[in-house]
A and B are shown apart, each in its own frame.
Chain A
């Protein structure tokens, strides 16, 4: 099992024309938290993931997905 949580936060942020600081300001965290999420160093809590998704007006699944997670654990 080699799963990774990927995201398109940077892509969505750039689409909306936000800087990292602006997005951080909107979701109530520091800029370095956004930076580490975009660089896949830090994986946000469900709460923060939902807040970021709401900020971009998309679903959480559109923003975050599991890479290599197509196989069920029971298989």
Chain B
């Protein structure tokens, strides 16, 4: 195994963690702002979806060498990924419950509710993945 590839995988993993946190935060901020303007439109969601998919493809190292991909997605990264997916899933469920309870207090449509649920789920998964990946590198 080339040390050059190992170094590159290390750098890529660091960037991946930083970008995941930044993307998660940016998603919450932008979607939160749009809530005041009547919610995000379909184009906004398509763009957001494409950016997230592009990040996931890049982060998985799909178009890189198999060796680099193997180091990038090793056991600890796989565990962090599974944990963050679980966190995103449970946060989505909890947000759905909160949205349901809010319908008794405030009048808002299903589009708003879906936007809130999706934003919380995706953002929390991205942020938790980034934080746990960064945490793994500290002694």
Total number of residue pairs linking A and B with CB closer than 8 Å: 54
Interface flag for A69 (CB, 8 Å) = no
Collect the chain A residues with CB atoms within 8 Å of residue B10's CB.
Answer: 21, 30-32
A32:B76 contact, CB within 8 angstroms? yes
Choose among B6, B71, B75, B77 the residue with the greatest number of A CB atoms under 10 Å from its CB: B75
**B13 to chain A: closest residue by CB:** A30
Tell me which of A32, A42, A44 contacts B137 (CB under 8 A).
A32
Q: Which residue of B lies closest to A25 (CB)?
A: B6
Minimum distance in angstroms from A42 CB to a CB of chain B? 5
Determine whether the beta carbon of B79 is less than 8 Å from that of A42. yes
Q: A28 to B76, Cβ gap below 8 A? A: no
A20-59 Cβ-contact flags toward B at 8 Å (1 or 0): 0100110011111101100101101100100000000000
| CB-CB under 8 A for A33 and B70, given A21-B6, A25-B1, A42-B136 | no
B residues sitting closer than 8 Å to A (CB atoms) are 1, 3, 6, 9-10, 13, 70-72, 74-77, 79, 133, 136-139
27 A-B contacts (beta carbon < 8 Å): A21-B6, A24-B6, A25-B1, A25-B6, A28-B1, A29-B75, A29-B76, A30-B10, A30-B13, A30-B71, A30-B77, A32-B10, A32-B76, A32-B77, A32-B133, A32-B136, A33-B74, A33-B77, A33-B136, A35-B136, A35-B137, A35-B139, A41-B136, A42-B75, A42-B76, A42-B79, A42-B136
Across the A-B interface, the 6 shortest Cβ-Cβ residue pairs: A32-B136, A33-B76, A29-B74, A32-B137, A42-B76, A36-B136
